[in-house]
A = this chain, B = another copy of it.
């Protein structure tokens, strides 16, 4: 049921899509779907890209993180009909600035949508805590 830390980290590293939650002064919390890639040093990189059209190049998530570096990434496996397959991992994160080029390269390897479209920026978020749950071991 509750996942051990190693298992939670392994599932986070094996996946690449989740919901990033940041602190918003008025709304309390903001949440947005993201793709991400985990590095080998205990951080994740979240792209600010130009592939999915945005209303503004300066995203609310960036403003939130610069005002308060705390964030949470939730990664889950959902199956409507078979709840014995459900699991999720939640990483507690701290925004540290821009990711190194190697992490951006890894994102471009993982998602072909990025191959011809450079990122505006890749946000680097350090994992400071991780927890997870699975319906069965």
Contact = CB atoms under 8 A, between A and B. Distances in A.
Report, nearest first, the 7 A-B pairs whose CB atoms are least far apart. Answer: A28-B70, A31-B74, A21-B29, A19-B19, A23-B28, A33-B76, A29-B29
- Say how many copies of this protein the assembly contains: 2
B113 A30 contact: no
A105 interface: no
Interface of A: 1-2, 17, 19, 21-23, 27-33, 51-55, 68, 70-72, 74, 76, 78, 80, 83, 86, 88, 90, 92, 113, 129, 135
Contact of A29 (B54, B71, B80, B88): B71
A119 to B, nearest CB: 15
Contacts of A21: 19, 21, 29-31, 72
